[in-house]
Structure 1
Amino acid sequence: MKKIFACALCVVMTVSLCSCAGCRKKEETKAKEKETIELWHYWDIPDNQRHLEELVEQFNKMQEDIKIEVSYIPDEDFKKQLALAMSEEKMPDIAVVDSSDFQFLHHMKAFADLTDAIPELKEYNEKALEPCTIDGRIYGQPFGVNCTGMFYNKKLLEENGCEVPESWEEFQETAAKISNEDVKGFAITALQTEESMYEFLPILWSMGGDVYRIAEENSKKAFLLLDQMEKEGSLSLQSISLTMGDLTNQFLKGKIGIMFNSSMAIDSIREGNPDLEFGVAPIPGGETSVSVAGGEILAVAENEKKEYAIRFLKFLADKDRMKEYIDAFGFLAPRQDIMEQQFAEDPEKRTFIKMYKAAGIREISPEWPRISLTLSDTLRQILVEEEDPQTILNKSAEKIEKIGAEK
């Protein structure tokens, strides 16, 4: 009887131990499940998409708590979808936001405050941080910065006896000389997107113009310069439907002699047409030559997952790691100490470092996207001659004045 009881007891204990071990395994499996963090971006350059995936994969493999999942949303839909997601409390945990849109979106629903969470931000360039700083607090982490420069086809200029233009008069003359049946001297994005302002504002600013006074003489000059070039046949009317990516493709195919673009276009040109000889120079304007600063900012949702999202941002903010990845994206680093060391053997890309120092910042306000859309539509109307330029400018100036009054 004792033997039977002892055997039964052993069986019960064995079953219990096995059950407990099974519970522990389930608990361990459950504990090892990674927290999923959703990241949205709008980069349509294949190399940048690949480099981002590589960074995410590296982060996912180096720790066991977090899994970043990347979603690409086309640029033309990105802001609308992100704004909708934010209004429905469904914002992705991390979003790549254009610096010009940051305050507009933050005004809709505040992003997470990163000031104290990411000490490395204190080492970032002041100009890079300005769009995501509100009342002395930092609500975003700049990923990379850029600015606008002038790209020109060396062969076209040489064949037509032209020097690199340094004033708007020289620019207009050069564009006319290099134009023919197959080539337009210049093209500019005139879609209702922020890209058009990235290219147009240097013209406006260098002529002494102001977005709040576009009907006045100095501002009017910028619009009329492009209108006159279109009438002369040196500016492509296709501009009203071209994105910056389209411009790059037209330029590398030799269909456009001059364009305004960022350093991110350089690799696309070299890969698309290795034989094309091109140069990069400051946008014309003489002593008042100016560029527009831009870039992308990582915004974190104010939700229960923000601590996990911040860990990924800290991974990207590491100084040594940034040195490894930033050049591949074609961006300038948001840290000045790293920026100064970039592109040591690439004179075309290095030109942008100097230009960025003198670049102006678009208005930092929640109203800017509406002002920007009005300006880009004004440019489109003038190029297609919907009405006489002064009438168009007067109407647009009234719209912008009303937007400004709503601040």
Structure 2
Amino acid sequence: MDEAVQRRRFLGLTAAAAALGLTATVSGCGVLGGESGDVTLRLVAADYDLTGGDTTKKYWADLVTAFEAKHPGVKVEVQIESWDDVDRKVAEMVKADEAPDVAQIGAYADYAAAGELYAADEVLSIPVQANFLPPLAAAGETKRTQYGLPFVASTRPLFYNKALFEKAGAEAPTTWDELAAAAEKLKDEGVTTPFALPLGPEEAQAEALMWLLSGGGGWTDASDHYAVDSEANVRTFDWLKKNLVGKGLTGPVAPGKLNRKAAFAAFASGEVGMLNGHPSLVKEAEKKGVEVGQVPLPGVDGKAKTSMGVADWIMGFKQNGHRKEIGEFLNFVFSDENVLKFAGDNDLLPVTVSASAIMETDPEHANLREFLKGLPDAQLPPVGKTSWATVSENVKQNIGKAVTPSGRPSEVLGTIGRAATTAENAE
């Protein structure tokens, strides 16, 4: 959806966005199949069905059927795993020298750094690789080479409960001060949690990044080095502590103890006035009778100049040597038809320029337009750094301390920042 990239359609990775899961076990390696020259690819994918159904399995089964019909010498076996298990299981497979040919999981950087993945230009056609949205392609790079192929994406606008806002006489905010003023009106009206600020260990690294970006900072600086305790970041957390948390506008649970899942559930139940939203929450809230308003994340002086993007990844492993067949499969996965099908069915965003342009004008996906608007200029967490897993975990466990009554944002961010620089230097 980046205007700088020509909108065009390409045949490619089919529905590559999310739930790689056919049905197979993984054992051995090398060429499989009944006839000489046949190759069987093993794919491990994450399950995106939030209801416990089989929509992810069906998606991949249909995709594989269509792919195999066009590539009679290649079979694909799919193993679907829950998000709780998929990253761990792939790591165990790689460690046991039983790597899948293709994996659709949450992170790629460690495998790229270890030389275990094909680079994008080794498996994708030029049109398919050029069709990725630029922020997502950039986030898939380790040491300036793309190894992570974005599968599906999302961004985070501000959600607000329209009924609670109307009752309180509040306006949808465009600045931090307007957000705080709206939260005050909601509190006066008896709303339990005027603004939900989930800085608990579930997803604090993402929640914090949304605020850092809207305050002109981020986890890294312009040279891609960690800048956790930059002046802009400290100012952001000083503001949060003083103007939201300190004034009792973030509800009865301390932000450092509040996880995103609980905040989302409370919003869907009508107990929260505002929070930074996710596509999956829209339908869940509306199912429970909450009419959701969406606006871009507020910034210091107006709409935040940069929004946060998130992507899940698909990648090809070198171990079994099936570069040609992996490339054929991934190019098929990224066709407009497949990308749109997976993203649309799961209320997520397509990762390609051409599919995003189609979704923007599709009335069926009008509820995703606010998310789509933020994607061309989105900034993703520094997922290409092998140190990010360690730094992210440190953030999850400690960032909430910055807004406690006794917490000092400069000290908390400084401690996290020094550890981040140490981890980065060890990469």
Q: Same fold (TM over 0.5)?
A: yes
Is the counterpart of residue 130 in structure 1 residue 138 in structure 2?
yes
Determine the structure 1 residue equivalent to 2:389: 369
Q: Whole-Å Cα distance in 2 between the matches of residues 319 and 403 of structure 1?
A: 39
Q: Whole-Å Cα distance in 1 between the matches of residues 146 and 230 of structure 2?
A: 36
Determine the structure 1 residue equivalent to 2:7: none
Q: Deviations over 1:244-275 (max 9, x none)?
A: 443332211112111112323323333x32x3
Q: Whole-Å Cα distance in 1 between the matches of residues 416 and 142 of structure 2?
A: 29
State which of 236, 250, 254 in structure 2 corresponds to 1:222: 236
Residues 124/398 of structure 1: CA separation in 2 closer, same or farther (3 Å cut): closer
Determine the structure 1 residue equivalent to 2:318: 302
Residues 391/296 of structure 1: CA separation in 2 closer, same or farther (3 Å cut): closer
> Amino acid of the residue matched to residue 109 of structure 2?
Q
Q: Whole-Å Cα distance in 2 between the matches of residues 216 and 59 of structure 1?
A: 46
Q: Deviations over 1:380-407 (max 9, x none)?
A: 2234557544433332232223223334
Q: Whole-Å Cα distance in 2 between the matches of residues 241 and 82 of structure 1?
A: 30
Q: Whole-Å Cα distance in 2 between the matches of residues 135 and 298 of structure 1?
A: 18
Is the counterpart of residue 269 in structure 1 residue 285 in structure 2?
yes
Deviates more, 1:252-261 or 1:321-330: 321-330
Q: Whole-Å Cα distance in 2 between the matches of residues 190 and 80 of structure 1?
A: 24
State which of 35, 38, 56 in structure 1 corresponds to 2:40: 35
Residues 403/152 of structure 1: CA separation in 2 closer, same or farther (3 Å cut): same
User: 1:197 aligns to what SS in structure 2?
Assistant: helix
Residues 219/132 of structure 1: CA separation in 2 closer, same or farther (3 Å cut): closer
After TM superposition, the structure 1 = structure 2 runs for residues 187-226 of structure 1, keeping only pairs within 5 Å, are 187-193=196-202, 195-211=203-219, 212-226=226-240
After TM superposition, the structure 1 = structure 2 runs for residues 38-57 of structure 1, keeping only pairs within 5 Å, are 38-41=43-46, 43=48, 45-46=50-51, 50-57=54-61
After TM superposition, the structure 1 = structure 2 runs for residues 311-326 of structure 1, keeping only pairs within 5 Å, are 311-326=328-343
> Amino acid of the residue matched to residue 155 of structure 1?
A
Conserved in 1, the CA contact under 8 Å of 2:41 and 2:101? no
Q: Deviations over 1:29-59 (max 9, x none)?
A: 9449983624132646238x74321221113
Q: Whole-Å Cα distance in 2 between the matches of residues 85 and 188 of structure 1?
A: 37
Of structures 1 and 2, the larger Rg is shown by 1
Determine the structure 2 residue equivalent to 1:24: none
Residues 374/44 of structure 1: CA separation in 2 closer, same or farther (3 Å cut): farther
- What's the CA shift for 1:243? 4.4
Please provide the CA RMSD for this pair: 3.0
User: 1:235 aligns to what SS in structure 2?
Assistant: coil
- What's the CA shift for 1:151? 0.8
State which of 396, 399, 414 in structure 2 corresponds to 1:394: 414
Which sections of structure 1, spanning at least 5 residues, go unmatched? 1-28
After TM superposition, the structure 1 = structure 2 runs for residues 1-400 of structure 1, keeping only pairs within 5 Å, are 30-31=34-35, 35=40, 37-41=42-46, 43=48, 45-46=50-51, 50-62=54-66, 63=68, 65-75=74-84, 78-98=86-106, 101-119=107-125, 120-134=128-142, 137-179=145-187, 183-193=192-202, 195-211=203-219, 212-228=226-242, 229-236=244-251, 237=253, 239-270=255-286, 272-273=287-288, 275-285=289-299, 286=302, 288-304=304-320, 306-307=322-323, 308-343=325-360, 344-345=362-363, 346-363=365-382, 364-384=384-404, 387-400=407-420
> Amino acid of the residue matched to residue 281 of structure 2?
A
Q: Whole-Å Cα distance in 2 between the matches of residues 351 and 238 of structure 1?
A: 29
Q: Whole-Å Cα distance in 2 between the matches of residues 139 and 403 of structure 1?
A: 21
User: 1:46 aligns to what SS in structure 2?
Assistant: coil
Residues 213/116 of structure 1: CA separation in 2 closer, same or farther (3 Å cut): closer
**TM-score normalised by L of structure 2:** 0.76
Residues 268/186 of structure 1: CA separation in 2 closer, same or farther (3 Å cut): same
Residues 181/78 of structure 1: CA separation in 2 closer, same or farther (3 Å cut): farther
Q: Whole-Å Cα distance in 1 between the matches of residues 100 and 408 of structure 2?
A: 45
Residues 319/163 of structure 1: CA separation in 2 closer, same or farther (3 Å cut): same
Residues 213/252 of structure 1: CA separation in 2 closer, same or farther (3 Å cut): same
Residues 51/184 of structure 1: CA separation in 2 closer, same or farther (3 Å cut): same
Give percent identity, aligned residues only: 16
Conserved in 2, the CA contact under 8 Å of 1:300 and 1:306? no
Q: Whole-Å Cα distance in 2 between the matches of residues 300 and 243 of structure 1?
A: 33
Residues 319/177 of structure 1: CA separation in 2 closer, same or farther (3 Å cut): same
- What's the CA shift for 1:366? 1.7
Residues 43/210 of structure 1: CA separation in 2 closer, same or farther (3 Å cut): same
Residues 137/219 of structure 1: CA separation in 2 closer, same or farther (3 Å cut): closer
Residues 88/384 of structure 1: CA separation in 2 closer, same or farther (3 Å cut): farther
Residues 71/389 of structure 1: CA separation in 2 closer, same or farther (3 Å cut): same
**TM-score normalised by L of structure 1:** 0.80
User: 2:358 aligns to what SS in structure 1?
Assistant: coil
Conserved in 2, the CA contact under 8 Å of 1:133 and 1:139? yes
Conserved in 2, the CA contact under 8 Å of 1:145 and 1:332? yes
User: 1:264 aligns to what SS in structure 2?
Assistant: helix
> Amino acid of the residue matched to residue 121 of structure 2?
T
Q: Whole-Å Cα distance in 2 between the matches of residues 103 and 118 of structure 1?
A: 19
Conserved in 2, the CA contact under 8 Å of 1:95 and 1:299? yes
User: 2:135 aligns to what SS in structure 1?
Assistant: helix
Kindly indicate whether structure 1 or structure 2 has the higher relative contact order, using CA contacts under 8 Å at least 6 residues apart.
2
- What's the CA shift for 1:281? 0.8
Aligned length: 372
- What's the CA shift for 1:96? 2.0
